[in-house]
Amino acid sequence: MKIWRGQFVAGAAVLLLAGCNKPSGESAANSDVIKVGEFASLTGSEATFGQSSHKGTQLAIDDLNAAGGVLGKKFQLLTEDDQSQAGQPATVVRKLISSDGVVAILGEVASSRSLEAAPICQENKIPMISPASTNPKVTEVGDYIFRVCFIDPFQGTVMANFARKTLKLQNAAVLVESSSDYSVGLAKFFKQRFIADGGKIVAEENYSHGDKDFSAQLTAIKAANPDGIFVPGYYTEVGLIALQARQLGITVPLFGGDGWESSALVPIGGKALEGCYFSTHFSPDSTAPEVRNFVKEFEAKYHETPDAMAALGYDSAMILADAMKRAGTTDGPKVRDALAAAKDFSGVTGKITIDANRNASKPAVILEIKNGQFKYVETVAP
Amino acid sequence: MTEFLQQLINGLALGSILALIALGYTMVYGILRFINFAHGDIFMLGAFAGFYLTPKIAAIFPTPSILSGLLVMGISMAICAALGIVIERFAYRPLRRSPRLTVLITAIGVSLFLEYAGQLFFGAAPKKFPALIPSYPITHVGGLSVTSNQIIVFIVTALLLVGLRFIVQKTKIGTAMRALAFNPDAAALMGINTDVVISFTFALGSALAAAAGILFAVNYPAIDPLMGILPGLKAFVAAVLGGIGNLPGAALGGIIIGVTETLVAGYISSTYRDAIAFGILILILLVKPSGLLGKKEIEKV
């Protein structure tokens, strides 16, 4: 037994050394495929986001390869799971860049996790495109960091306008996930606009990632008697918040951002979510030909209707391929310049123009939850 | 005033669930002097057992009803009890004579194993726990709201506390458990089959965790394989606060933590909720290191 153990340790050490010896930069330059890295929350609490964006990204890569790839090379997508956990993105992105030698990084949905990976991509001059991180800070990390979604000020403003003008709310309460950059950002811009438009924020409460009991916060909100509650959180908590709000006798509508959009939202929240609203990037009901085509292909491959994260994942890979084509190389700095110059790129989530801050300027849609379905309400242009 | 009373009710509801989880922790510790860190994960497995059993039971009996609730809970408790015995047999028994730290690390390993095996088999995405027990909003006296589920949790916690005390104090196996807790070697010399008693202790603890898992899932119907981590940790704190090894102490600790957390979240800020709740724990332990109801242990030399 002891001898066996010794051999095992020695074997493992040899394997480790072999792993370290692998040259990092060389494989990227000489290979006949274009290696693109993706990091996503394939498991953990935001798993449906990661799964969706990954499916969209994979579909784009397959489409690109079916069309012959770019620059005469096919794409190879290397996907790493960050388990929805802080700390993981840095580890897996470092691995993708230094040991797999990828030329670009796609990911993540959650802003907190994109923020972790961004400095690493910036440092290595590897362009990174986040499909769906809406916190402004993400692209502020540096000039190699891009996104194909709109940002929190826009989304927060859209929802404040919607709450004031369409829902005609006077007094709103805000329930924020204080551990999430995304939620805090959305709430900040919502409040600014809502107050500027003559509304009043009557209560402001916080919760943390993974909480299950919100009765304390909701009781405090109920005492303030708002006409509506803005909950810029993620679907798991939002479902439970809606349930507990109705249990406590709160009947006013809840509304939030794209963090709500998940096939898991309605099964958890059920009837408690009827008549609630959220803003997002994409509606599969759209009649645009790109969207119809994307929805058809997606349904054929995965037997489900794509959501916003899938559409954004698709666009993130497509805009990268487009930039490489225009740059004529996969070289980091040149691809970066081409991405920065992207204008009116026709994505499935609308016309994307990359602005001076490397954010996508594009429209938002508002959906209502009706009979357990997401129903299109209106589109708001930037 | 209404708001304060409502917060108190919220706190009691949360606290009684923590108390229920803490009972299992404290019982295993009381008998074996071993903190079973996998307790929170058995709690998770209990909820998942309920998740998969409910549709099967619903095909035979009308659901949601009290009867199907009791059936699902009973079967889940049996499944988890069996699982507790298996875990003890394969993970802890081989380490019976090892230092306590080894067993503790193994428990953390078992906990991680269950969490990630859970992700593999059940999937990582949160699942909606089906309606198992009929839920009625009881009231709105003066604007206060309580649900029937919250009352059920409170009653079940109280009943299990009394039941456990009866088992440990009045039955033969309970006497054997206490003998083992007192001195395992002497207990073995007196003809007590220590393996059976330890297996029984684990089975009982795991069954309690399963009951807590189901009641938790009924109240907070989004379950996922990592759902046991935080409640498990808080229940452990509750057990320590009440005096680990002491059954009424665990219940008291759970209620104190639940009420404190709710009041802090409702009146101060949920950002500081855990900080303040754990701060209180430190204060109490500074004054009374053995916990609120814990007995002072005299170190024999």
B110-152: pLDDT as tens digits: 999 999 999 888 887 788 898 888 877 776 666 777 888 888 8
Q: What pLDDT was estimated at residue B5?
A: 86
Say if A219 is an interface residue toward chain B (CB within 8 Å). Answer: yes
Q: Do B127 and A267 touch (CB under 8 A)?
A: yes
Contacts of A205 in chain B (CB under 8 A): 265, 270
Q: Which two tokens stand for residue B11?
A: 């706190």
Q: What is the mean pLDDT of residues A232-243?
A: 91
Taking only residues 252 to 291 of chain A, the set having a beta carbon closer than 8 angstroms to any beta carbon of chain B reads 264, 267-268, 270
Chain segment A335-377, per-residue pLDDT in tens: 999 998 888 888 888 888 888 889 888 888 899 999 888 888 8
- CB proximity list for A129: less than 8 A, separation 6 or greater: A104, A105, A106, A146, A147, A148, A316, A319, A320, A339
Q: What pLDDT was estimated at residue B297?
A: 59
Q: Do B124 and A43 touch (CB under 8 A)?
A: yes
Q: Count other C-beta atoms under 10 Å from residue B89's C-beta.
A: 14
Q: Count other C-beta atoms under 10 Å from residue A380's C-beta.
A: 18
Residue type, A140: E
Q: Which two tokens stand for residue A190?
A: 């919502």
Q: What pLDDT was estimated at residue A16?
A: 45
* Burial of B85 (C-beta count, 10 Å sphere; 0-12/13-18/19+): middle
* pLDDT band, residue B166 (cuts 50/70/90): very high
Mean pLDDT of chain B: 87
Contact B34, B100 (CB under 8 A): yes
Say if A225 is an interface residue toward chain B (CB within 8 Å). Answer: no
ipTM computed for the complex: 0.82
* pLDDT band, residue A25 (cuts 50/70/90): very low
Q: What pLDDT was estimated at residue A22?
A: 43
Contact B196, B184 (CB under 8 A): no
Chain segment A282-303, per-residue pLDDT in tens: 888 878 888 888 999 999 999 8
Rounded to whole angstroms, how far apart are CA atoms A371 and A273?
9
pLDDT at position B251 over 60: yes
Say if A377 is an interface residue toward chain B (CB within 8 Å). Answer: no
CA dihedral A143, A148, A150, A152 (to 10 degrees): -60
What's the per-residue H, E or C state across chain A? Answer: CHHHHHHHHHHHHHHHHHHHHCCCHHHHHHCCEEEEEEEECCCCCCHHHHHHHHHHHHHHHHHHHHCCCECCEEEEEEEEECCCCCCHHHHHHHHHHHCCCCCEEECCCCHHHHHHHHHHHHHCCCCEEECCCCCCHHHHCCCCEEECCCCHHHHHHHHHHHHHHHCCCCEEEEEEECCCHHHHHHHHHHHHHHHHCCCEEEEEEEECCCCCCCHHHHHHHHHHCCCEEECCCCHHHHHHHHHHHHHCCCCCCEEECHHHCCCCHHHHHHHHHCCCEEEECCCCCCCCHHHHHHHHHHHHHHCCCCCHHHHHHHHHHHHHHHHHHHHCCCCHHHHHHHHHCCCCEEECCEEEEECCCCCEECCEEEEEEECCEEEEEEEECC
Q: What percentage of chain B exceeds 70 in pLDDT? A: 97
Chain segment B122-133, per-residue pLDDT in tens: 887 788 898 888
Chain segment B191-206, per-residue pLDDT in tens: 999 899 999 999 999 9
Rounded to whole angstroms, how far apart are CA atoms B187 and B201?
15
Nearest to B6 among A207, A219, A267 (CB): A219
Contacts of A268 in chain B (CB under 8 A): 126, 128, 221-222
pLDDT at position A19 over 70: no
